[in-house]
Amino acid sequence: MIHELSIYQQELKDKGLVREDKIRYMVFWVRRFLSLGQSDDAVFADSLEREGRQDWQIRQALDAVSICAMSLIPSSA
């Protein structure tokens, strides 16, 4: 998992997918998603809402998970 998160972090930086000062938060959310054993964005979002996370944090977390899923899927080129 750590290797994959390193790849994700590098993808964010190299492709400029998010501002550099936001990369650590994106990695945090993906690590959190994976550590909770979530496989469903809606369940993850619900758990964040129950924790009292603000809407912008939930959107950022879901964006992080979505970008990670896309960046770690090998391209079929």
Q: pLDDT in tens for each of the 77 residues of the chain?
A: 667 888 899 989 999 999 999 999 999 999 999 888 867 899 999 999 999 999 999 999 999 999 988 876 655 44
Burial label, 25 (beta-carbon count in 10 A; 0-12, 13-18, 19+): middle
Structure tokens at 19: 């501002």
| pTM assigned to the model | 0.84
| Distance in angstroms (rounded) separating the CA atoms of residues 54 and 29 | 14
Q: Which helix (H) or strand (E) holds 28?
A: helix 23-35
